[in-house]
Amino acid sequence: MAELQDRIRVALGNYDAVIATGVDNFTYLSGIVLPFASNYPDRKAAVLKTSDGQEHIVCPHDWLSCVQEQGWKGGVTAYDENKGMPPNPAIEALTTVMSKLGLENKKIGLDKSKASKLFVDILERRLPNAKWIACDEVLRELRIIKTKKEVNLLETASRHSESGIVSALNHLEGTVDVPGYTISEFSERVRVHVFEFGGSGVGHLATMQGADAQSYYAPQHGKFRTGELVRIDVTNHHRGYWSNAGRMAVIGQPSKEQVAAYKDNLDLKDAAKEALSSGTPSKAVFEEVRKTAEKKRVKFWKETAVGHGVGVSDREPPYLNPHDETVLRPGMVVTLDIFTFGPRQELIHSKDTYEILEDRSRLLSWYRNWDQLYVVEGIRSTH
Amino acid sequence: MRRMGLNDLGIVERVQRALAASGFEAIIAVGADNVQYLSGARIPFLHGYPDRHVAVFWPRKGDPECISPVEWESTIRKLGWVKKIRSYAENANNIGSAVETLTNAVRDSIKAGGRLGLDMNRTPATFADRLRTSLNEMKLESCDELLTELRMTKTPEEVKLLADVSYRTDHGILGAVHHIIITAPRTEMSLAEEVRVHCLERGLEAVGYHSLSLMASGEYSTKFWPLPPFFGIGGGVKELKQQEIVRVEMRSSIDGYWSDAARIVVMGEPTAEQKKAYEGLVALRTAAVAVIKPGVGCNEVFKVVSEEAKKRGIDLIADLGVGHGVGVTTHEPPYLIDCDTTPLRSGMILVLDPVVRGPQKEIMRSKDTLLVTESGCRIMGWYKDWQEPFIPAYAL
């Protein structure tokens, strides 16, 4: 990832140092993956990079080996959590490092859209002579264009999602009627297969059918029922680079209405896909979907975006919504995520991830052709 | 077990009382954990979407309200007890959209000049600054302390739920390790999966990054997180070996309330050194349990455990403290650390977690979930008696 580190160095050249505390920005700047960190809101890890090439991470004691074993070459301070109530120990460790590096009165970029207000206030009080500047926009611009290696990681993550979903479906086939297994077990099988195919972590994971599928998310419960549309959502990362996947299946042979509803969704996705090329504003992709939906009289969930970027997080700029003017450029990676409605108002989507090239886009989630609803049926043997 | 259509766990009344006594006209929570606590909507993916904001606005007079992206509106409505929801459509700037929607909610309920509480310890600085600008006629202050106080002491219904989830998790771990046969070893990865599956079988939810089981043996057990970034899947193809110490970890939930569990397995009759190391863990637990009661400071518990470790020559990893609260997150106040002087109160639930090094530098922990009672404390959730580690069957 030397190319990425070079890009970061150049882009952040206007600061004497940059600090990232957001889990996604932390991974981006350091190359170190701490995906569970967001679930510990009182425990903070931060990475500091100076314009003269020095790097330092502060983290809780039990995350230290994580950092070291992922190849971090810079300094690390594992802070003692007895030194104060959160977030003070992390801030004390960070400001101590900054003082040692002579940054007390320098220009410091900080990801203020991720760091908590309390964290920022204490930090600024501790080093009042530093010039603290939000660097979120700079990070956004940096992150939005991927290097070739980043695209490769995203492509691999996409493959893991698809392998996870398809393998879990393979296990489901033949087991639906007798005795059947639960939706939570199915979801777990998606996770297991993502891991078995080499994925390094799973984030959001949910399978919904029937009335549950009318909402974005419902807790996992019950068993699969014949005749239902099923939505399977999983986000997973490959060494910190995320895939955000969602696919549709049907239990038993689909009804005509289900087939038609699924086709409607694909028609809108085709329209969006056609618009995905360098030079197109993000909002134009949304507009293309809107126009197609109007022409074909397909109802879609127009209050949400029709897609978004993926990278070191599973949902990030650019956003394919009616307001985002970001112009698509080569190196961007976006996931198309268009919600339409099934016969029972189930939310249908079939997400695909694309790399934006000069004159077209390239499908990264190519593992399987999803032009048809995945039909789950079969007779149980010794599967 | 509770599922869809939650009752409010006694939280609504408690929040209303605290709010009435606080002097705030309203409080606003943006942190994912605080949003869940105040709304009841357990949205496991919320932590993972830093660019999308959900907030709970809770006026002293009137009903609480959620501010949410459109996409999550029906989820929040179905899962929580807050039924008033203002959703915002996707925009080029989601902080801007959320702040604008929140501002409208506040202005519809609160007169200018009112004191507004915000969870500053969770709200991103950019969000908080924009909200302050947008609501410049209000006095925006931190309400972190109020929320921490509220969340630290659980209602009887929360206690019941947390007792249930800790017991089921212990059961799940035991269910999985019962599959270990010393002379027919399996891989860490496969056993880590068994832990998750057995937890699911006992009705636990496995959601978010947190639902990570860990099976760490041999050299991997010397690390907190072996083989990063491959989290929660054990050491891949490594098989458990005879006489190894194995650390099994699992975090799981029911309705958004978490367990934080870890147990020790020894692959055979423990050696004298292994036995001594585990007895050290038991001694630290015993020392902590003896001192935990209402009125005792969290720091005093830390000191007692640290001194016991020193007295017995136990290699305690003290930088992590010796325990913490658990609730809508796996790790929350109060903290059993040297500087937390919070007095323990009846109704607090703690995960006692002194972490020690074993004879081969293994990281050994046997987390116990405790309820602080009127007169002391009670261990909750033991599926088996953890006076000794789990020792698997020798042969099939």
List the single best residue of A82, A114, A189, A313 to mutate versus B (max B Cβ within 10 A). A82
For B239-248, what is each residue's pLDDT tens digit? 999 999 999 9
A275 and A257 in a single domain? The answer is yes
In a domain, A382, yes or no: no
Residues B142, B144: Cα–Cα separation, whole Å = 6
- Tell me, what CATH number does A126's domain have? 3.40.350.10
Final residue before a domain boundary, out of A126, A143, A160: A143
A126 and A176 in a single domain? The answer is no
A228 and A287 in a single domain? The answer is yes
% of chain B surpassing 70 pLDDT: 96
The ipTM (two decimal places) reads 0.95
Measured CA distances, B55 to A331, A340, A345 (Å): 34, 27, 27
In a domain, A208, yes or no: yes
List the single best residue of B6, B34, B35, B45 to mutate versus A (max A Cβ within 10 A). B45
- The reply to whether B129 touches chain A by the CB within 8 Å rule is yes
Q: Taking CB atoms and an 8 Å limit, are A201 and B230 in contact across chains?
A: yes
CATH topology classification for B11-151: Creatine Amidinohydrolase; Chain A, domain 1 (3.40.350)
Number of Cβ within 10 Å of residue B379's Cβ equals 15
In a domain, A164, yes or no: yes
For helices A117-126 and B125-134, give the axis angle rounded to 10 degrees: 100
A169 and A100 in a single domain? The answer is no
| Lowest mean pLDDT across A243-252, B92-101, B153-162 | B92-101
Q: Taking CB atoms and an 8 Å limit, are B124 and A118 in contact across chains?
A: no
A196 and A296 in a single domain? The answer is yes
* Helix (H/G/I), strand (E/B), else coil: A170: helix
Residues B27, B15: Cα–Cα separation, whole Å = 10
pLDDT of B370 higher than 50: yes
A74 and A155 in a single domain? The answer is no
Q: Three-state SS string across B207-252, please? A: CCCCCCCEEEEHHHHHCCCCCCCCCCCCCCCCECCCCCEEEEEEEE
How many domains does one find in chain A? 2
Domain that includes residue A372, residue range: 148-376
A58 and A157 in a single domain? The answer is no
- Going from N- to C-terminal start, the domains of chain B cover 11-151, 156-380
For A191-209, what is each residue's pLDDT tens digit? 999 988 999 999 999 999 9
Residue of A201, A220, A325 with shortest CB distance to B231: A201
* pLDDT bracket for residue B232 (50, 70, 90): low
A118 and A179 in a single domain? The answer is no
How close is the nearest chain B Cα to the Cα of A306, in Å?
Answer: 10
Identify the burial level of B254 via C-beta atoms within 10 angstroms of its C-beta, where 0-12 means exposed, 13-18 middle and 19 or more buried.
Answer: buried
* pLDDT bracket for residue B207 (50, 70, 90): low
CB pairs < 8 Å spanning A and B: 240
A109 and A15 in a single domain? The answer is yes
**CB within 8 A of B17, min separation 6: which ones?**
none
**CB within 8 A of A294, min separation 6: which ones?**
none
Q: CA angle, corner A211, sides to A207 and A213, nearest 5?
A: 35
Final residue before a domain boundary, out of A128, A143, A158: A143
Residues B365, B247: Cα–Cα separation, whole Å = 7
In a domain, A318, yes or no: yes
- Give the rounded distance of the alpha carbon of A303 from its chain centre: 20
Which pLDDT value is given to residue B1?
A: 39
Q: Taking CB atoms and an 8 Å limit, are B228 and A195 in contact across chains?
A: no
Is B364 in contact with B277 (CB distance < 8 Å)?
Answer: yes
Measured CA distances, B321 to A80, A198, B106, B193, B317 (Å): 9, 34, 40, 29, 8
In a domain, A383, yes or no: no
In the CATH scheme, what is the homologous superfamily, with its name and number, of domain B156-380?
Creatinase/methionine aminopeptidase superfamily (3.90.230.10)
Give the closest residue to A86 by CA, choosing from B29, B306, B320: B320
Give the closest residue to B23 by CA, choosing from B125, B162, B123, B117: B117
* pLDDT bracket for residue B63 (50, 70, 90): very high
Give the closest residue to A20 by CA, choosing from A108, A149, A100, A151: A108
A308 and A356 in a single domain? The answer is yes
Measured CA distances, B48 to A243, B144, B253, B326, B346 (Å): 13, 21, 17, 20, 33
Taking the C-alpha atoms of B299, B302, B304 and B305 in order, what is their torsion angle to the nearest 10 degrees? Answer: 170
A73 and A169 in a single domain? The answer is no
Taking the C-alpha atoms of B185, B187, B188 and B193 in order, what is their torsion angle to the nearest 10 degrees? Answer: -110
- Tell me, what CATH number does A297's domain have? 3.90.230.10
Final residue before a domain boundary, out of A112, A127, A143: A143
Mean pLDDT in residue range B198-213: 79
Identify the burial level of A307 via C-beta atoms within 10 angstroms of its C-beta, where 0-12 means exposed, 13-18 middle and 19 or more buried.
Answer: buried
* pLDDT bracket for residue A6 (50, 70, 90): confident
* pLDDT bracket for residue B3 (50, 70, 90): very low
First to last CA, chain A: 43
A244 and A129 in a single domain? The answer is no
Looking up tokens 């059961």 gives B171
